[in-house]
Amino acid sequence: MDIKEFKAGSYGKGYEYHYFLPEKINRSFFWTDAVINELLEKASFKLGELN
């Protein structure tokens, strides 16, 4: 599934209230933007520095 097509969930209507119903997230994703790869790599290095 392309990350651009991901839908976080949907809103439903109950009796006098609205609710958010999230989608399942355990799917395989891919992206076509190389910037996302660079950001993920930088984030993993920063997380590694915390140890």
Burial of 41 (0-12, 13-18, 19+ CB in 10 A): exposed
- What pLDDT score was predicted for residue 21? 92
Instruction: Quote the CA–CA distance of 6 and 2 in Å, as a whole number.
Output: 7
The total of other beta-carbon atoms located within 10 Å of residue 31's CB is: 13
CA 22/CA 18 separation, integer angstroms? 13
Angle (nearest 5°) at CA 42 between 39 and 48: 140
Mapped onto helix, strand or coil, the DSSP state of residue 50 is: coil
Q: Is the pLDDT of residue 51 over 80?
A: no
Confidence of residue 1 (pLDDT cuts 50, 70, 90): low
pTM: 0.44
Q: What is the pLDDT of residues 3-49, one digit of tens each?
A: 677 788 899 999 999 999 988 877 777 788 889 889 999 999 999 88
